[in-house]
Structure 1
Amino acid sequence: MLVLGDVVGEPGRRLVETHLPTLRRELDLDFVVINGENAAHGHGITERIARQWLDELRVDVITTGNHAFDVKDIPATFQVEPRLLRPANYPPGTPGAGHVKLHTPSGLEVLVINLMGRVNMPPCDDPFRCADAVLARERADVVIVDMHAEATSEAQAMGWYLDGRVSAVLGTHTHVPTLDARILPGGTAYVTDIGMTGPYDGVIGMRKEASLSRFLKVKGEKWEVAEGDPQLHGIFFETEGKKAISIRRIVKTLP
């Protein structure tokens, strides 16, 4: 199974379009999850992008995070497309769903849960108790958690909290890949942050000049997606029963 980190803007979308079909064959993938909350110009996702990934590229689930609703008309898409997730611990009444259960071609039932941390993030409910609530209601052969968190400590805490209860806890949001991909003692594949799929010649996917201006000036320049050094970052893991038996990073660049 393959999970790709935050896709940022047009460079990130191009990486997905270029490499996903090949990765599907090379890794014999039966399930693909992509975090798409930065896919549209670095902020949010459009219905067109979601439809292309789901229908043309055969992505199984799209997760999001704090930028889930940045695009004006996207709440309607969340309402009708169960494979497009927003964080499950958003307050009640938020459009869409925070988890979904699907089947692989081989018949495995896969549950994907989208959670968002609370440290230095927009207001949301407790992700730990939210995870408990979902797992109390749902059962599946494989359970994948996208932990969309700013604080590395909160992501790590979630990994330990769910170790042995889910197949994978994979961090997104910071856009900075971490070197701690491993299988926890209870059999849960874990990484603090997958890293983004987008341009690394910038600051978390944005032009470095605009990013620097936000630190050096009273009023910073408008955010714009960077273009240089596009890299795809993902996590590939395999399971035996609900437990992970292998985990490794996938990194690809454009030709």
Structure 2
Amino acid sequence: MSDVMTQALRVDRRRFLVAGAGVAGGAALVAGGMSGTAVAAPAPAVPAVPAVPAAKEWQGRASANGWPVVAAVPSHRVEGAGGLSFTALDGDVATVLTHVVRRYHYEIHTLGAGEVTGHTGARAVAAPYESNYLSGTAVAIRSPQYPVRARNGFFPQELVIVRDILADLEGVVKWGGDESTPKESHFQIDVRPGDSGLRRVAAKLRGWESRPGSGAGAIDALAPGRVRAAKALAARQR
């Protein structure tokens, strides 16, 4: 993705936030009776983050999504994201998770070193889905900002992008925000090894990468057909 396109996306996001601030300011003036003195709108209450559940040792030879636990996996560089890289199982899994990270970097938040984590050998998990890091089939993006049990961490326009990314991947990836014990930084492969859907989606993404103007950085998440697909998938995965 070009620097110009990246900058445009960030400008659009800033415009959205500034516009939202303007609406809030207007509402505050109305509430103050337009007396000539702007009355600040009260700051929204920040919900308390529930305590993270006590970690438990994962005992299985496979992670919760059915993939074998592995001792080591390769590191994968995210094209167009500077030196950003993460560790994940090679092949189709890496192709799919890289797409998640790239679109997040381009359209939600510019990611820096250490903000994406993947495979780990540590078996302590706060929820069963965290075992998927052991098999190299999940990533956590900005985990400290979106910890286990915390909800509603994304702005509405950011959530639109998250849903659109998932729709790109046709259900082979699940977002931790849809888990009963949420973790909004978490994205995992949600099919078993050998799944034909995973192979098909990975092949689609590789095809996009081979064609200029396709794939991450060239997607309109607000296109009506994409919005419908994202809503339909969200209804199935929640």
- For the aligned pair, the TM-score class normalised by the smaller chain equals under 0.3
TM-score by length of 2: 0.27
The structure with more radius of gyration: 2
TM-score by length of 1: 0.26
